[in-house]
Amino acid sequence: MAGSANPPGPEPPPAAPSGGAVPAARPLPGAARSRAASPGRRPSPRVAQLKRTAYFFRQNTLAMAGLVVILFFLIIALVAPFYPGPNESLTIYCGSYYPGSTGNSSGICNTVCTYALGGTPPGPNCYAVPAEEPSLLAPTVSLRPLSIGSFPLGSLTEVPSGNLFYNTATGLIKGAPWSLSISIAIVGSGALIGLLLGALAGYLGGLTDEVIMRFTDIFLSIPALLLVLVVLSVAGQLGGFTSTLYGRLAILIGAFVVTWWPFYTRIVRGQVLVTREQKYIEAAKASGARPGRVLVRHIIPNSVYPVLVQFSLDVGTIPIYLGTIIYLGYPIWPTALFPEWGTITAKAVSQEFVSAQVLLCQISTSCTFPWWQILFPGLTVFLFAIAVNFLSDGLRDALDPRLRR
Amino acid sequence: MQMWVYIVRRVLLVVPVIIGVMSITFALVSALPKSIRILSYFGPSKFGDGPTVDCERFGLKPPYPGATECPNPWWVHGTKALGLNLPIPVQWGKYVVDSFTGHWGFTGADSAATSMLSIGTGTPVLTVLSWYLPYTLELAALSLLFILLFSIPLGNLSAVYRNRPIDQASRVMSFSGFALPPFLLAILVLLALALLSGGYHAICSGTTTPYFLWYGSWPVWSCPPYNAAPYFGVQPAWIGPNFQTSPTHFPTIDALIHGDYYLAWDTIRRIIFPALTIAFTSMAGILRFVRNSMLEVMNLDFIRTARSKGVPERTVIRRHAGRNSLNVTITVLGLTFAFFIGGFPITELIFNLKGVGLVLAYSVLPPQDFGLIFGTTLLFTIIVVAANIIVDILYAYLDPRVRLG
């Protein structure tokens, strides 16, 4: 927030008087008056408006909490590249298999070894799965200290191939930049396309409006998750560039953009239809502004706030969607364990992982279900979504004069 | 306008949308490589999957003397049978006409879905979907019932007791439904049920625990495979192979027709918790809209009039405000229906419900079954469109201004 360092004064400006039916109609009468009184102090009504919005935003405790959580995640994402990665010199191997297994890769590990890459395995029983842990069967599950790194993330059946595993904490930290950037890229491109098309449809009207909105209707009637899945499964067959990491990312973003633009188009069109009837648009036209200038300078800046609110709401759902797709078994990433929050959550509750744990619990006399591997990634995804929810609520309240109290 | 004219017009307006959806799926199918499209219908052949093969290797007659490359018989047959040699517009026309006349293709020859669901290769997609659709419809009906049952009273309550504990509680509920990944919620419900009734080890230990007596075949993790038929567990004698003896394919209704009251109750009992899960995740937006619309209605003049006339507060809330905010609820239900339907694949996969969503969840697994993927998507879209028509008609019935204006 640009105005956060500079409070707008002790007296909060009054809410827009009656006639402020349009959210965020600018400039506010109050701003215009104060500028007339002291011309030098407030250079631009937009800055004044921004300060006013920031003031109302800061009054909202939940929104500020959401902002703090988002900032926390952003900081983690920024320092993540400097965080020590998964220990490359440690590989996790099966020590021995549970009785009855033939010992091939389809077996379930009874014990797990870690040893330096290139070294020799220390022995068949180097790291036994802790047998002294209390069982979940017990009526009280004793919550032990948070040792979120002690189990490899992923299916134990994958172990003999010598895969590199993230532990949960490392995965979450390393996943922050990926999750945030993927979410913003996906929703941002969808919002941009929707903004342009919606502004065109609302401003030009007529045939353009009709064509664009019919397309919107078509896309809106396909359930979003299904369309993403269909596009992904078709694109996955193409091969070549699409099998690399950046190719996969491009496909993923493309699949979501195809799904997401109609929502924004509809929102922006509705907003533009209201905005273009305003007096200041008439004034701009009367003073000889060309349609393109009216659209870009006047209509889009004044219709962009609902997009901002929806954008911040949608960013939080992307890890949930990605996790859902991963849980359904569709391989989005070129590697099995990509550090992305939704993916980590989905892997932690995936069928193969849980069934491996169940088998472990059945063959050992007592065991602990690795709840921390579900709790912490799930909590991260949940917190992210709920923080952006609060943030977008606060933004809407601060931007819409009718909702200010 | 008469009501029936409105209905007919509304239904006719849907045809272009459906054609548009078919065009999207057609575009996606056309993007697939030819070899994959042939492979998914005719299966692998000894000739490989290229357009040409080595003549000598397979003893084929060269097309002209001295040629070493012969046309691949599998490719030639597949191209011809699928009409891939026709111009694209003709293919599109055939695709649309076939989709409208119920020719939705066949299940793949070599796909994960056919083996996991044991539905056989080359079965018409529409036949497969007709086996699974009734169960999904029952689940959808129950979830919708739960949504209406919870969101309307809760939304009204939180509007009446604004900013009081009940309002905060309902807000927390709506936020959590939005921010919890659906797969995580479903699994937590499943684990909670397993822990509450029978203990963790009971998940796969047979049918003797209370958990299994009540919740049948929900957890399939590392358990023996269950019947692929749309009915769970032990099939009663009156359900023959291929369901000749089940008149409607709706499990509950069939059981009632056959006088098998236990099975009818059993079927409903199994979908209560999945329906609650779906309702919880898709209720967030609806709850908020109900609350806001109720708040808006409560400030209108006719409410003040009713109060000043001395109408009891209960009646004001129920009759005057509640009924007027019902319109908004129905509209929002229509708008969020696509999202609601999109939650079915994951829920049906986790609870192992034999519905269309499960078919989709399995058919996106590689090797994918493109016939099933596109058939399921089309079916879900048709459900969404049909739901929107019903919502519009209901809206027009409740609010005469819509059809008169």
Dump the DSSP string for B73-108: HHHHHHHHHHTTTS-HHHHHHHHHHHHHTT---B--
What is the band of A212 on the pLDDT scale with cuts at 50, 70, 90?
Answer: very high
Q: Give B-chain residues touching A214 at CB under 8 angstroms.
A: 16-17, 20
What is the band of A191 on the pLDDT scale with cuts at 50, 70, 90?
Answer: very high
pLDDT at A405 > cutoff 50: no
What is the arithmetic mean of pLDDT over B167-190? Answer: 86
What was the pLDDT predicted at B210? 30
Q: Chain A within 8 Å of B306 (Cβ-Cβ)?
A: no
What is the arithmetic mean of pLDDT over A174-196? Answer: 91
Q: Give A-chain residues touching B183 at CB under 8 angstroms.
A: 323-324, 327, 346, 349
Please tell me which residue, A90 or A163, carries the higher pLDDT value. Answer: A90
Token representation of residue A189: 């491109």
pLDDT at A18 > cutoff 50: no
What is the band of A77 on the pLDDT scale with cuts at 50, 70, 90?
Answer: very high
Q: Chain B within 8 Å of A369 (Cβ-Cβ)?
A: yes
* pLDDT tens digits along A244-266: 778 888 888 999 998 889 989 98
Q: Give B-chain residues touching A381 at CB under 8 angstroms.
A: 179, 181, 184
Q: Which of B168, B174, B200 to probe by mutation at the A interface, max A CB count within 10 Å?
A: B200
Chain B residues 151-180 within an 8 A CB cutoff of chain A: 175-176, 178-180
Judged by average pLDDT, the poorest of A319-328, A362-371, B53-62 is A362-371
Residue B370 CB neighbours (<10 A): 28
Please tell me which residue, A193 or A151, carries the higher pLDDT value. Answer: A193
What is the arithmetic mean of pLDDT over B335-351? Answer: 85
Q: Do A221 and B388 touch (CB under 8 A)?
A: yes
* pLDDT tens digits along B71-100: 888 889 889 988 888 999 999 999 999 988
C-alpha–C-alpha distance, residues B158 and B292, integer Å: 9
Judged by average pLDDT, the poorest of A103-107, A115-119, B151-155, B399-403 is A103-107
What is the band of A172 on the pLDDT scale with cuts at 50, 70, 90?
Answer: confident
* pLDDT tens digits along B3-34: 888 888 888 888 999 999 999 989 988 888 88
Q: Chain A within 8 Å of B126 (Cβ-Cβ)?
A: no
What is the band of B369 on the pLDDT scale with cuts at 50, 70, 90?
Answer: confident
Chain A residues 370-389 within an 8 A CB cutoff of chain B: 374, 378, 381-383, 385-386, 389
What is the arithmetic mean of pLDDT over A87-113? Answer: 43
What was the pLDDT predicted at A182? 93
Q: Do A328 and B175 touch (CB under 8 A)?
A: no
**Which of B21, B200, B221 shows the shortest C-beta gap to A221?**
B21
What was the pLDDT predicted at B396? 82
**Which of A218, A230, A346 shows the shortest C-beta gap to B28?**
A230
pLDDT at A2 > cutoff 70: no
Q: Chain A within 8 Å of B368 (Cβ-Cβ)?
A: yes
Q: Chain B within 8 Å of A333 (Cβ-Cβ)?
A: no
Q: Which of B24, B29, B184, B346 to probe by mutation at the A interface, max A CB count within 10 Å?
A: B184
What was the pLDDT predicted at A399? 78
Token representation of residue B280: 């919880």
Element (H, E) at B70: strand B69-71
Q: Chain A within 8 Å of B314 (Cβ-Cβ)?
A: no
Q: Which residues pair with A357 in a beta bridge?
A: none
What is the arithmetic mean of pLDDT over B107-127? Answer: 82
Q: Give B-chain residues touching A240 at CB under 8 angstroms.
A: none
Q: Chain B within 8 Å of A218 (Cβ-Cβ)?
A: yes
What was the pLDDT predicted at A156? 29
What is the arithmetic mean of pLDDT over B179-208? Answer: 64
C-alpha–C-alpha distance, residues A350 and A329, integer Å: 9
Token representation of residue B46: 């000894």
What was the pLDDT predicted at A59? 81
Judged by average pLDDT, the poorest of A201-205, A350-354, B223-227, B290-294 is B223-227
Residue B315 CB neighbours (<10 A): 12
What was the pLDDT predicted at A315? 92
Q: Which of B111, B188, B364 to probe by mutation at the A interface, max A CB count within 10 Å?
A: B364
Q: Percentage of chain A surpassing pLDDT 70?
A: 61
What was the pLDDT predicted at A382? 94
C-alpha–C-alpha distance, residues B328 and B324, integer Å: 8
Judged by average pLDDT, the poorest of A15-19, A347-351, B308-312 is A15-19
Q: Give B-chain residues touching A179 at CB under 8 angstroms.
A: none
Q: Chain A within 8 Å of B303 (Cβ-Cβ)?
A: no
Q: Chain B within 8 Å of A224 (Cβ-Cβ)?
A: yes
Residue B164 CB neighbours (<10 A): 11
Q: Do B384 and A221 touch (CB under 8 A)?
A: yes
Most confident of A125-134, A230-239, B82-91: B82-91
The reported pTM is: 0.79
What was the pLDDT predicted at A317? 92
The alpha-carbon gap from A57 to the nearest alpha carbon of chain B, in Å, equals 18
* pLDDT tens digits along A19-57: 444 444 444 444 444 444 455 565 677 788 788 888 888
pLDDT at A78 > cutoff 90: yes
**Which of B28, B178, B203 shows the shortest C-beta gap to A234?**
B28
**Which of A220, A324, A355 shows the shortest C-beta gap to B181?**
A324
Question: Torsions phi, psi of B217, nearest 5?
Answer: -100, 30
Q: Which residues pair with A92 in a beta bridge?
A: A114
What was the pLDDT predicted at A80? 85
Tell me, rounded to whole angstroms, the distance of Cα B124 from its chain centroid.
19
What is the arithmetic mean of pLDDT over A122-132? Answer: 36
- Mean pLDDT score across all residues of chain A: 70
Please tell me which residue, A191 or A146, carries the higher pLDDT value. Answer: A191
What was the pLDDT predicted at A293? 87
The alpha-carbon gap from A218 to the nearest alpha carbon of chain B, in Å, equals 5
Q: Which of B167, B171, B221 to probe by mutation at the A interface, max A CB count within 10 Å?
A: B221
